[in-house]
């Protein structure tokens, strides 16, 4: 029996979310990202996110302009234009569970424990903890619309930093050119292998 089977409305909504994102091959959404960490100035960024299964992503930032993150299904590249620097990390080395819905492999009862739902507006705020204690975050919140659309994701990490995403204008099934998910290192850019 799953950890949330006793809560029928929550269980039903979780299944709706899983079906929505696990069944689509492509997705485009506007995103707004907020990052807060004790002792540091808050950071906000935004742009357009394009996704194609399996594991292909393109985060094209409008703020800061020129920042770009591309995943070709194996390697996740991020370009920081202000420093003319690129970080490179294997997709396997990233912890994608909080954003697994973006990759079409969301299974709440497999990834999370202690799931709780609380009505908010016309949807529900879902709070969960990771099933494994070996992950770099302690909790995840999802704000989910009644139709299963994920509007917000908020990840609290062990260092008490908070990474939040707000999603808007979601489009299911857009057509993408393969080149969108191929990264070319800009001329003269320093490439840094990122740690997990």
Note the pLDDT of residue 105: 76
CB neighbour burial string for 157-194, b if at least 16 within 10 angstroms, e if fewer: beeeebbbbbbeebeeeeebeeeebebeeeeeeeeeee
What's the average model confidence in pLDDT over 174-196?
A: 91
3 state SS of 90: strand
Q: Write down how long the chain is.
A: 196
* Mean per-residue pLDDT, 12-35: 94
Q: For 128-154, what is each residue's pLDDT tens digit?
A: 999 888 888 899 999 999 999 999 999
pLDDT at 4 over 60: no
Place of tokens 């294997």: 90
* Residues 54-79 pLDDT 10s: 889 999 999 999 999 999 988 999 99
User: What's the mean pLDDT in 85-105?
Assistant: 76
- What average pLDDT does the segment 37-58 reach? 93
């Amino acid at each position: 029996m799953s950890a949330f089977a006793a809560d029928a409305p929550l269980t039903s909504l979780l299944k709706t979310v899983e079906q929505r994102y696990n069944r689509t091959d492509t997705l485009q959404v506007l995103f707004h990202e907020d990052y807060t960490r004790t002792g540091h100035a808050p950071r906000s960024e935004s742009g357009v996110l394009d996704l194609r299964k399996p594991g292909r992503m393109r985060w094209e930032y409008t703020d800061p302009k020129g920042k770009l993150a591309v995943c070709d299904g194996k390697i996740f590249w991020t370009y920081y234009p202000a420093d003319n620097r690129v970080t490179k990390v294997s997709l396997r080395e990233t912890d994608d569970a909080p954003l697994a819905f973006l990759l079409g492999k969301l299974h709440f009862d497999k990834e999370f424990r202690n799931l709780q739902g609380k009505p908010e507006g016309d949807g529900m705020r879902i709070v969960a903890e990771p099933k494994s204690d070996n992950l770099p975050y302690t909790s995840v919140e999802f704000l989910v619309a009644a139709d299963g659309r994920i509007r917000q994701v908020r990840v609290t990490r062990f260092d008490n930093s908070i990474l939040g995403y707000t999603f808007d204008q979601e489009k299911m099934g857009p057509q993408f050119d393969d080149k969108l998910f191929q990264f070319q290192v800009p001329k003269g850019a320093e490439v840094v292998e990122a740690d997990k």
